[in-house]
Structure 1
Amino acid sequence: MGGVEHLVTLTRPAWPPARTPNGLRLLDLCCGAGGAGMGYHLAGFEVTGVDIAPQPDYPFTFHQGDALEFVREHGHEYDVIAAGPPCQADCTLTAGTNAGRRHLHRSLLAATREALLVTGRPWLIEQPVGTARMRRDLLLCGLMFGLQVFRHRQFELCGLAVAQPEHPSHAGHRVRGWRHGRYHDGDMIAVYGAGGGKGSIPEWQAAMGIAWTASRRTLAEAIPPAYSLHIGRALAAALLRSHTGRQAA
């Protein structure tokens, strides 16, 4: 008889954490529904989001428009800039029918980087793991924060330093849902696609730590706020030290 597979029990920190405003402004480009923005907000930043599409669920100051035009005009007004440009043209993990459609998407990665460099402000770019033509200065996974999603994301940093958390083993964790004609139980949630057999909206919300939107599309595209909270705390500490040093000089 085969042995019984035991799933690892995740321990998640209390959520949301207490917030202390830090007086710093962060520009959230290609912001979507605000998964990243919420983490930066909880880290103390005053957050402003920009997206080409309407984002009625975005919980902070929002401007609808071209993100690159906005950052060229207003980027210098912020202390730090975070960007998550569309990844379809650059992600090397795209497979199957989506791979054949990659040519339909225009890469904005180089243009985003160029626009950010001109601002003279520290910045970061977030993309799925497997995105070509960018450095991986930081890698984050949901297991690092006790979340029920793997959701690996890589970050390119400029003028910033963020500690790399230890990456827990995936052994003992299994994604719940239908695969290859049968249902698999597990402790992890598949937050992507149309959601068929992958979990309910409340399960998706709980797995991601996102409660303010119930749209499958926006949840599937978001990053968990725990990621940007980790980043935001490091950014705030470094920026505040820098400001204090300049004032003392």
Structure 2
Amino acid sequence: MIALDLFCCQGGATRGYQQAGYRVVGIDIEDQPRYIGDEFWQADALAWVDQHMDWIRAEVSFIHASPPCQRYSRAQKIQQREHPDLIPPTRDLLNATGVPWVIENVEEARPELRDPVLLCGASFGMTTYRHRLFETGGWTLTAPSHPPHTAPLTKMGRPRRPGDFAHYVGNFSGVDEARADMQMPWASRDGLRECIPPAYARYVAEQHLAGHGPAPAAIPAACGA
């Protein structure tokens, strides 16, 4: 089975799809030397999909897309910087493939997403909440149980106190702790603060496979030609 991870960064989502049994091709506009997928292409993700549409329709079982979230984040509102809205063009292109897909983004992007499902780190035994929204196309995602947020959230930049939940954003403290918590030992601080924890992607993948179960396929050597 082949999955695409669009806007893949260092591969948090990729690792989750690998754990679920996929071979993963990652695409990102920036070089990603820490990426841990099976194949990587440095390219504009949407242009790459458009260019390889026939191969995708024939060989790819699932597509994950995480368009950059800066447009929707709280930091963008504070800094008042302009960023493109990539969710609508991403949705349109993914629908054109005919392949089941998911678009992931931050909570602030909810107005742009259609009936999204929320995933939380507490649902997967982490000590970070890290809410993320997932919109699906061609299938239905069911949310897991969402534990109440009883643990205090450590203030940004400060070490996590016992009993608190961590806030892995900005120049956060505790890179090694974040790597262990989110099970991403290969990732840098930059990768950790932007990532989707592998557990989220594995949950998404296993939910999809439970209802569909596509047949295995091999990655052709010339898929990027």
Deviations 1:31-76 (A, max 9, x none): 0100001001000011110000011111111100010011112232
2:95 to 117, 120, 125: 117
Offset of residue 239 of structure 1:
2.5
Aligned 1:163-182 pairs, distance under 5 A? 163-171=142-150, 173-177=151-155
Structure 1 equivalent of residue 221 of structure 2? none
Structure 1 equivalent of residue 219 of structure 2? none
Deviations 1:165-219 (A, max 9, x none): 1110011x1223568x999653311111012xxx321111112121112x11111
**Residue 218 (str. 1) matches residue 191 (str. 2):** yes
Q: Secondary structure at the match of 1:115?
A: helix
Deviations 1:51-103 (A, max 9, x none): 000111111111000100111122323111110001112x1x515xx315444
Contact 1:176–1:185 under 8 Å retained in 2: no
Q: TM-score, normalised by structure 1?
A: 0.78
Aligned 1:78-89 pairs, distance under 5 A? 78-89=60-71
Which residue identity lines up with residue 133 of structure 2 in the other structure? Answer: Q
Structure 2: where are the runs of 5+ without partners?
216-225
Contact 1:189–1:207 under 8 Å retained in 2: no
Query: Paired residues, what number?
Result: 210
Q: Percent identity?
A: 37
**Residue 205 (str. 1) matches residue 191 (str. 2):** no
Q: TM-score, normalised by structure 2?
A: 0.86
Q: Please, which moves more after superposition, 61-70 or 74-83?
A: 74-83
1:238 to 201, 211, 214: 211
Matches of 2:29 and 2:136, distance apart in 1: 23
Which residue identity lines up with residue 85 of structure 1 in the other structure? Answer: P
Structure having the higher Rg: 1
Structure 1: where are the runs of 5+ without partners?
1-23, 244-249
Structure 1 stretches of 4+ moved >4 Å:
181-185
Contact 2:66–2:104 under 8 Å retained in 1: yes
Matches of 2:152 and 2:162, distance apart in 1: 7
